[in-house]
Amino acid sequence: MSAARQTKAQRFEQLAAPLERQVYFTCLHMMGNPQDAEDCAQEALLKAFRKLDSFRGDAQFSTWLYTLATRTCLDALRKRREAFSLDALAEEGFEIPDEQAEIFLRLEEKERKAALRQAITQLPADFRAAVVLVDLQGLPYREAARALDIPEGTLKSRVSRARNTLYKILLKHGELFLAEDRLSGERRDG
């Protein structure tokens, strides 16, 4: 390996290694399953390595990398044009004795997270990308808009509409998400 190529590999490793996990989780939220997420994350990182010389530093490296990951996922979603079903939300039920309330709370939280992950996969790809970058990855609106190559106002609109759509989807799981339906003895996390 030449010195220049080794320098590029070292630079890429220094910039990308701390972000690999976030790239994978971005892809997981976009794609909805671990296999597709791994494929997209790997493809995005490979694209990033190949295009490293084109990174100008106008934005943070993380924003640039999220852009590549999100676009890779959007391309994959367009190719598969998968229709998501609410039936996929059904999970196995468990009988938990009352004296094991803490186990029940952990199980409920796990079900809540699974329902949210599944609900995110039901969003249109553009909405999904916006909500993943802003709400799950914590990017500021300006960086997320830059990553998606859209105006900031458009991003805010997509995030708002995605949140409203998620709210409607999750209402179908009222037992998991509505505070007034919770038992008075259950712990409430803020």
Distance CA 37, CA 59 (A): 24
Distance CA 119, CA 103 (A): 24
Better pLDDT: 55 or 145: 145
Distance CA 63, CA 15 (A): 12
Average pLDDT of the chain?
Answer: 79
Residues in the chain: 190
CA torsion sign for 165, 169, 174, 179 is: negative
* Mean pLDDT value across residues 90-108: 53
pLDDT tens readout for residues 120-173:
889 999 999 999 999 988 899 999 999 999 999 999 999 999 999 988 888 887
Residue 61 and residue 55 in contact, taking contact as beta carbons nearer than 8 Å: yes
Q: How many CB atoms lie within 10 A of CB 64?
A: 22
> Cα angle at 36 between 14 and 44, to 5 degrees?
30
CATH T-level fold of 3-181: Butyryl-CoA Dehydrogenase, subunit A; domain 3 (1.20.140)
Structure tokens at 148: 């998606």
For residue 101, give the nearest of 183, 170, 15 by alpha carbon.
183
